[in-house]
Structure formats: C-alpha cells, structure tokens
Amino acid sequence: MAGGLSGGLTVGSDRLFGTSAGFPHVVELDLDRVHRNPDQPRRHFDEAELRSLASSIERHGLQNPILVRPLPQGEYLLIGGERRVRAHEMLGRRTVFAILTSGDPDEIGLIDNVQRVDLNAVEYAMALGRLIDKHGYTHDELAAVVGRDRTDVTKLLAILTLPDEIRDEYAAGFAHVSRSVMIEIAAAPAELHAGLWQRAKEGASVKAVRQAKRDHAQGGPRETVADDGEEDTAPQEAARALRASVKRILRDVAVVREQRRHLDPDNREQLLRLRAEIDAILAGVDADV
C-alpha cells in the first residue's frame, strides 16, 4: 500500500498529466517512514488542541496533507505538519497523506506553521534565529523569505535577548501572552524586563506595558493616573485575563467531554482535582459575597 508507493518518489513535473514542477505532489505514506525534524519551529503542543484536531480528522478526514522531503531509502523528513502527524498517531492511523517538497526544511517548516496555527512568540523568534544562523541572512533577506516587514523581523528577533528564565517561564505556562506584549518587553531596557514580565503574566495589555515604559523614562511609575487622565487599568486588565482563562477552561472541558471515552485513571484523577479547585474558588467567591 503506502510502503509500495514510497519507493522512488521524486519531486518534479508529471509528464503524463502535463503538470508543472510547482504542482503539489500528494502521496500516502507509512507513518513509520516519516521522521521528525529536530529543527521544527513548534516546540510545545497543547494536548487538548491535539485531541480536538484528532477528532476533526476522524470525522472529516485530513484536509491539509503534511509536508515532507524525500530522504534516501524511501524515508521522509517531516517539514510541516507535526500536529497532524501526532493527531494521526492518537487515532492509531498507520498512514498519512503528504505533499512532497524539495525546499529548505527550516524555511518551509516556519512558513507552514505560521500559515496554519500561529507559533508562539518565542518559537517564532527562535525559528527566525535558526534561519539567520544557517544561511547568514540579513534582516531584509529574512523578511523576504518569511513574507514579513523587515521591522517586524527585527522586533521578533529581539525576543531572543530576553533572559532565559523569562523565555523558559513563558514556554512552561504563559505562551498565551501575546506576541505584541513580548515584543514590547524585549524592546525595553534590561532592568525593566523582570517587572514588565510580571505585569504581562498578570494580564497587562500592550498599552499597559508601553505606559510602564513611558513612566520609567519619565522618572518613575505613577500608580493611579495615566497620561490621558484615565484611572489605573490594572483591575480591568485582571478582569480581561480572568475572562480569557475561563473561556480557555470551557473550551478544554468541551474537548474532554467529546473525547471522554479515552479517559484513563490518571485523567480522571486530574479532573477530580480540577473539580475540587473550581469548587474551592466558587466557595470563596460565595463567602466574599
């Protein structure tokens, strides 16, 4: 089946049907012949999102084939689509549809991720940095490769100058902090990084981070009044962050409900702990009222 198809596949024109070299060449491959790319830009995979993707593939089929580059001996390097591969593995699938490509793995992998599910800020910056290290691109050349403005590329690369502890903490549990906020923090003086990062974790918006930077430049923070006379926005920012968190929880619960037949004892124990936490939060709110 797929194994028989994979031998001797090449990327190029199809004389029989008259298609050009740019026409997508879709094949069905054995998953065990597709090897993960160690330089793939996406480093973190949300389990709930993967289960949701697996459910979609199970119900509707794979709408976007993965991208691979042929290797010797009928093997393939995964260029784009690791989430789709992982979803197939969740479903116990043995084969996957793929498009063959001969382009640069780092460039195509980055572009594929950006076009489908946005990389988080640190993943994007690291992927751009790898392309510079690999090819010696200038910022202008890199911008042309990834289809972004040169100024945007420079701002994103500045994220790599943030302290390791901030980037590690971001990756571990705060990847929901927006790319724009991370860019603002990276552009601030080094002595502000820790304080601005703390505010970002508490839900500060781009506007709030910029205001904190202006306050510092003007000689110190103002606790309650901004330049335009508005009251301090910290409570509003906290409320927005809370609403976003509740929405994420509801979304994840919906995925769990849909995939409940796959629950194992560990999952059940975690759900029981989550229920206890939610009960405690609501009990505290009721007590405050």
**Segment 226-264, tens digit of pLDDT:** 444 444 555 666 676 677 777 778 777 877 787 788 888
What pLDDT, on the 0 to 100 scale, is given for residue 185? 95
What pLDDT, on the 0 to 100 scale, is given for residue 40? 63
Residue 83: partners with Cβ closer than 8 Å, 6 or more residues away: 42, 45, 49, 50, 53, 117
What pLDDT, on the 0 to 100 scale, is given for residue 161? 93
- CA Rg, the chain, in Å? 23
Domain end, chosen from 77, 108, 139, is at 108
What pLDDT, on the 0 to 100 scale, is given for residue 31? 93
Kindly state whether residues 128 and 210 are assigned to the same domain: yes
Domain end, chosen from 88, 108, 128, is at 108
Kindly state whether residues 18 and 42 are assigned to the same domain: yes
Kindly state whether residues 79 and 172 are assigned to the same domain: no
Kindly state whether residues 101 and 62 are assigned to the same domain: yes
What pLDDT, on the 0 to 100 scale, is given for residue 53? 83
Integer Cα distance of 126 and 119 in angstroms: 10
Q: One of 82, 107, 123, 184 is an active-site residue; which one? A: 82
What pLDDT, on the 0 to 100 scale, is given for residue 270? 82
Q: Which domain holds residue 96?
A: 2-108
Domain end, chosen from 108, 135, 156, is at 108
Catalytic-residue membership of 82: yes
What pLDDT, on the 0 to 100 scale, is given for residue 109? 64
The per-residue pLDDT for range 224-235, each reduced to its tens digit, is 334 444 445 556
Helix (H) or strand (E) holding 68: strand 66-70
The two three-digit tokens of residue 41, written as one number: 């830009």
Its pTM surpasses 0.85: no
Kindly state whether residues 127 and 90 are assigned to the same domain: no
Kindly state whether residues 73 and 154 are assigned to the same domain: no
What pLDDT, on the 0 to 100 scale, is given for residue 225? 36
Low-confidence ranges of the chain (pLDDT < 50): 1-8, 10-20, 115-117, 223-231, 289
User: The CATH number of the domain where 70 resides is what?
Assistant: 3.90.1530.10
- Name the nearest CA neighbour of 125 among 193, 212, 47, 43: 43
Integer Cα distance of 240 and 7 in angstroms: 54
Strand partners, 225: 231
Integer Cα distance of 153 and 244 in angstroms: 28
Q: Is residue 246 part of a domain?
A: no
Kindly state whether residues 151 and 124 are assigned to the same domain: yes
Integer Cα distance of 178 and 205 in angstroms: 9
The two three-digit tokens of residue 78, written as one number: 């995964």
Kindly state whether residues 140 and 178 are assigned to the same domain: yes
Q: Is residue 227 part of a domain?
A: no
Residue 70: partners with Cβ closer than 8 Å, 6 or more residues away: 9, 10, 11, 76, 100, 102
Integer Cα distance of 48 and 54 in angstroms: 10
Q: With H, G, I as helix, E, B as strand and everything else as coil, classify residue 40.
A: coil
Kindly state whether residues 129 and 172 are assigned to the same domain: yes
Q: Is residue 260 part of a domain?
A: no
The two three-digit tokens of residue 258, written as one number: 């849909």
Number of domains in the chain: 2
What pLDDT, on the 0 to 100 scale, is given for residue 1? 45
Kindly state whether residues 94 and 145 are assigned to the same domain: no
